[in-house]
A and B are shown apart, each in its own frame.
Chain A
Amino acid sequence: MAEQERFGPAPRADLAAGLLFTGIGAAILWVGADYSLGVASRIGPGYVPRLLGILLTGIGVFLIVRSRWTTELIDLVIAWRPLALVLGAVVAFALVFEASGLVPAILVTVALANYAAPENRWITAIVLGAVLAFFAWALFVKGLSLPLPVWSK
């Protein structure tokens, strides 16, 4: 992992994980504070979440303390382009599918996702999109007769 040196000092993995788990643990305890614990012989909906919240916070604090002595670092390099485009493509699938059906959703998803890899050009998107749209229609709609709206207005 020689790359990491190039990007200056990264936080330690235990510290980052410790903060995350402490945060989530505290959030569980805070949100779950209103849930009834019940009695031990008939535990309520809040009992197990309370236990898990305490456990998670405890482990988180332990990790924060331990991070003073551990050396493993987190990876600070974020691949923004694939991250944004891949997630965007999935979200777009959900939105376009609701609005106009399967085929437009596939075309839009492929069009967005295509540019997550810098070496892809528009022609890849068009060919892949067309092939996938046809294949999905043939397999899921015609072949398996799943109730998917193909092209709604």
Chain B
Amino acid sequence: MSSAVGELAQNLIFGFGIAVTPQNLLFCFIGALLGTLVGVLPGLGPVATIAMLLPVTFTLPPVAALIMLAGLYYGAQYGGSTTAILVNIPGESSSVVTCIDGHMMARKGRAGSALAIAALGSFFAGCVATAVVAVFSQPLVSVAGSFQSPDYFGLLVFGMVAAVVLAQGSVVRSIAMVVLGLFLGLIGTDIASGHTRFTFGISALADGVGFVPVAMGLFGIAEVIASLERGGAKPKIIEKISRLWPTREEARQAWPAVLRGTGIGSLLGVLPGGGALISAFAAYVVEKKIAKDPSRFGQGAIEGVAAPESANNAGAQTSFIPLLAMGIPPNPVMALMLGAMTIHGIVPGPKVMTERPDLFWGMIASMWIGNLMLIVINLPLIGIWVKFLQIPYRWLYSIILVFCCIGVYTVNNTTVDVLVMAAFGLFGYFLIKIRCEPAPLILGFILGPMLEENFRRSLIVSRGSWGVFLERPICAGFLVLAFVLLLLVLLPSIRKGREEALQES
């Protein structure tokens, strides 16, 4: 036991040694700064930004590149709350629930407290999540070592079901979106047989539909169109922030919520399908459920800011665990991380820890440093970000569009991807109109090939018997859990509770 602790300490010291080199500190800072900016600006999310930055990372050493991209993701969680609280618009999709109580607090003259709790909660959650990643990655790598194809299959199915159940929107429609995403992921050449599938003879589709153009179309382009549609009314920014510190009473109310949010986020981040978004939702729902007086929620309850803001930061960081320990990208941002690693010839998965300890421990150490930077960037410097909020969207969207186009083009140096992005922008707008969530689709799209491969291998091992998925305890456990979750959420009484909990005034 003590030797394990000693080893961990040694690894962390090694990691900090790498993270504090001037170059890595600089890129950690750039990531945190860009992340805050992206978080503050509505309509510009980490997926689109990381995709735009991929060409930049070609020219960087891999450690610096990943430190920067990681900082961007969890930095966006800090920035998102600022816009949610001051303008009542989620700067980041994972800050949607923060709007509800955070903005109400601001309207009641408690903006400073809300911002401070959001930032301090995020910082606490970030520190805990960094420790979670450091401590649990190693055991999970050995657990993953004992996983066989059916177990991976079960885990992936469970992750997708959990992601759908815990997110907002109709569960049945979201499941259909996952299935559609799984299908889109199969377009192109089948690895096992070499057959091309659903390409309609178009040679550009032989390698499949690219993840970056699909994600940028659905999240970048469609979001720009939807924002312009909402446009018109000028968002009202609450600029009077008062003192940036919670009162003793507020702190007393907030800290248990911060603890719960951190726990929920750390746990849900590890799930395939998890990450910042569902962590924030789940944390808010839990707070409302266990509150003595749920009617305070929506009226400026500080727990409604503390819990989701802690959870989204924790979830953002622990979602590195499935990528690093198992090679499973649990959400679109991690899929881009996978892309960034692949560009540098690093195969994400259990071997990263042993083959590239500098990358692994350097990135973990940088997360703690990044969080420290972020609290400074976000609290004392809050005034700067309020200024950024005043950039009119009618200038911003043209800039977003141009960078989306350049970003998508540079990933594979082909304008076909730009056209694919336009097509998925149209499709994404259509999905918003018929009230289908695009997030589950992209999740299915990422995990589709992995799911098919493990399904195929399982059936080879079992000589064609589907029973294999129920014979292995790990796999059967995941599948039963997934089934129970689905059953629970489809039962009318519970579904009603879930809808009420997520209702915005």
User: Interface of A with B (CB < 8 Å)?
Assistant: 13-14, 16-17, 20-21, 24, 28, 31-32, 35-36, 39-46, 48-49, 52-53, 55-56, 59-60, 62-63, 66, 72, 74-79, 82-83, 86-87, 89-91, 93-95, 97-98, 102, 105-106, 109-110, 113-114, 116-117, 119-120, 124-125, 128, 132, 136, 140, 144-148
> Which one of B399, B402, B429, B433 has the highest number of Cβ atoms from chain A below 10 Å of its Cβ?
B402
| CB-CB under 8 A for A105 and B459, given A45-B195, A56-B180, A82-B229 | no
Do A16 and B434 have beta carbons less than 8 Å apart?
A: yes
Do A52 and B433 have beta carbons less than 8 Å apart?
A: no
B289: Cβ under 8 A from any A Cβ: no
Q: How far does the alpha carbon of A128 sit from the alpha carbon of B484 in the complex, in Å?
A: 53
Do A41 and B225 have beta carbons less than 8 Å apart?
A: no
Do A63 and B429 have beta carbons less than 8 Å apart?
A: no
> How far in angstroms is the closest Cβ of chain A from B17?
28
Q: How far does the alpha carbon of A77 sit from the alpha carbon of B190 in the complex, in Å?
A: 40
Q: How far does the alpha carbon of A108 sit from the alpha carbon of B419 in the complex, in Å?
A: 16
> Which one of A17, A39, A46 has the highest number of Cβ atoms from chain B below 10 Å of its Cβ?
A17
B456: Cβ under 8 A from any A Cβ: yes
Summarize B's interface: helix, strand, loop or mixed: helix
Do A43 and B456 have beta carbons less than 8 Å apart?
A: yes
B104: Cβ under 8 A from any A Cβ: no
| CB-CB under 8 A for A87 and B422, given A40-B465, A41-B463, A79-B228 | yes
Total inter-chain residue pairs, C-beta < 8 Å: 196
Task: Identify which of A31, A56, A110 contacts B398 (C-beta below 8 A).
Answer: A110
> Which one of B221, B405, B419 has the highest number of Cβ atoms from chain A below 10 Å of its Cβ?
B405
Task: Identify which of A36, A48, A87, A132 contacts B425 (C-beta below 8 A).
Answer: A87
Task: Identify which of A40, A66, A87, A144 contacts B172 (C-beta below 8 A).
Answer: A66
Q: How far does the alpha carbon of A117 sit from the alpha carbon of B195 in the complex, in Å?
A: 46
Do A14 and B176 have beta carbons less than 8 Å apart?
A: no
| CB-CB under 8 A for A116 and B422, given A20-B434, A59-B179, A75-B433 | no
Q: How far does the alpha carbon of A59 sit from the alpha carbon of B174 in the complex, in Å?
A: 10
Do A40 and B198 have beta carbons less than 8 Å apart?
A: no
Contact sample, A vs B, 23 pairs, CB 8 Å cutoff: A13-B173, A36-B195, A43-B459, A45-B195, A49-B183, A52-B179, A52-B183, A56-B179, A74-B435, A77-B229, A78-B433, A82-B228, A83-B429, A89-B401, A90-B221, A90-B401, A91-B422, A93-B415, A94-B409, A95-B415, A98-B415, A119-B394, A128-B395
Task: Identify which of B197, B416, B418, B434 contacts A49 (C-beta below 8 A).
Answer: B197
| CB-CB under 8 A for A136 and B225, given A40-B464, A40-B465, A43-B456 | no
Do B176 and A56 have beta carbons less than 8 Å apart?
A: yes
> How far in angstroms is the closest Cβ of chain B from A139?
8
Do B225 and A83 have beta carbons less than 8 Å apart?
A: yes
Closest to B228 in A: A82
